[in-house]
Amino acid sequence: MKYPILLTNLIEHNIAKTVLGAVQKAIGITDTFIPLHEPEFSGHEWDYVKKCIDTGWVSTAGSFVEKFETGLAEYTGAKYAIATSNGTAALHLALILAGVKPGDEVIVPALSFVATANTVQYCGAIPHFVEISRETLGMDSDALESYLSEITEINPAGLTNKRTGRQISAIVPMHTFGHPSDIDGLLRLSQKLNLPLVEDAAESLGSTYKGQHCGTFGTVSALSFNGNKVITTGGGGAVLTNDEEIAKRAKHLSTTAKLPHKWNYVHDEVGYNYRMPNINAALGCAQLEKLSRWVKEKRKLAENYDAAFKNISGIKFVREPPKAKSNYWLNAIILNDENAEYRDTILETLNVADYMARPTWTLLHKLKPYADAPAMIDMNIAENIGKSLINLPSSPKLARRSR
């Protein structure tokens, strides 16, 4: 429907004001800038970091690293956790450990942070972008199954893309904004096609699917503790796995593949300097102590948003998918087609009012380095979400503000 210019401006203005009103209703009026996701250091962070400095154990050896790894394994139920320098490094290792080789193709959702694609490329492999589901905002396992049955064949090397002749060697779902992907569907497909599942669980620490933690379903998974994630170590990440061999190799590869010895420097393959420093792990140990509480608060905050947007037509608050409990890392709303054209005005209005809001990432296949990468032709849902989604302030402390 086309309105005259003046009327369009009025509608645009009203919608932006309505969204601002709902955000204010959910998290309160502010006179200072509210970031999208703010780190919080309200526990033992200072004590533990001081301990590192006082003892001199700040770098790639020290007791906090192991303590943090044990804590992560206990919290998620993964058998092994290996702490790394950042989430991108963890995902790179995870792909290597899943067996991704140069020249392979790896299935990646079109909607994700660029690291999901970059790490595939670091392996010398090629990301192959696929459609997401409107319900989970993660990979659509049904669409993927019919797509793969159309474009692949099984030959002695394994599953092969008929068009490119390249082997497909892994599926990398990403649990968008903390909402678990359709894990049942993806696991079924991964078993049927004998392809390892590598979860990019960077955003989903604390999210569960049928009661089990994200990051524990795949052969191997990656977490991130960047400054804007649910817990932070400044920079940091972790590889999760239930496989002892993979865990050993993750640690070996992340520590330059050096064979343990008191003084000799012998490396038995090309490794990486990807180990998390002790001083970062010290922060991590303190943050882990707060994690359960923060996930609860973030879920409460999501309820507040849900209530505030409930009666606004044409705008949908993104709720956790069925069978899942989300950590609601980033809250999000989706504008319907009519409102989507006003997205930038809404973003402008929120940011000017000191509520940080942003659109989602540019779809990966639209980025310059991936413009020629293989991709599903029909990715209408990803395209639509790319134009109509807005992320809203999501720090756990916003659930504590008196409204």
Ligand X SMILES: *Cc1c(COP(=O)(O)O)cnc(C)c1O
Q: For binding to ligand X (CB under 6 A), which residues are involved?
A: 86-88, 91, 112-113, 115-116, 174, 200, 202-203, 224, 226, 237
How far is CA 58 from each of CA 40, 52, 72, 229, 239, rounded to the nearest angstrom? Answer: 21, 5, 20, 22, 21
**Closer residue to ligand X (CB): 88 or 327:** 88
Minimum CB separation from ligand X for residue 373, in Å? 17
| 3-class secondary structure, 176 | helix
Is residue 240 within 8 A of residue 91, CB to CB? The reply is: no
Residue number with the shortest CB distance to ligand X?
Answer: 87
Q: Using CA atoms, how far apart are residues 350 and 52, in angstroms rounded to an integer? A: 41
Nearest approach, Cβ of residue 363 and ligand X (Å): 13
CB of 223 to ligand X, least distance (A): 8
- DSSP-derived secondary structure for 82-111: EEESSHHHHHHHHHHHTT--TT-EEEEESS
Separation CA 400–CA 389 (nearest Å): 25
Minimum distance of ligand X from residue 30's CB (angstroms): 26
Considering beta carbons, is residue 69 or 203 the nearer one to ligand X? 203
Half-sphere exposure (CA, 13 Å, Cβ side) for 37?
Answer: 21
- The residues, ordered by sequence, that sit 6+ positions from 46 with a Cβ below 8 Å of its Cβ are none
Tell the burial category of 14 from Cβ atoms under 10 Å away from its Cβ (0-12, 13-18, 19+). Answer: exposed
Q: Please report how close the Cβ of residue 88 comes to ligand X at its closest, in angstroms.
A: 3
Which is closer to ligand X, CB of 75 or CB of 361?
A: 361
User: Smallest Cα–Cα separation from 82: which of 210, 192, 223, 204?
Assistant: 223
86 or 160: CB nearest ligand X? 86
Q: Contact, 107 vs 130, CB < 8 A? A: yes
Nearer to ligand X, 86 or 254 (CB): 86
Give the nearer residue to ligand X in terms of CB position, either 224 or 326.
224
The Cα–Cα gap between 38 and 223 comes to 18
Considering the complex, state which of residue 171 and residue 308 has its C-beta at the smaller distance from ligand X. 171
Query: To the nearest whole angstrom, how small is the minimum distance from the Cβ of residue 86 to ligand X?
Result: 4
Closest distance between ligand X and the C-beta of residue 95, in Å? 12
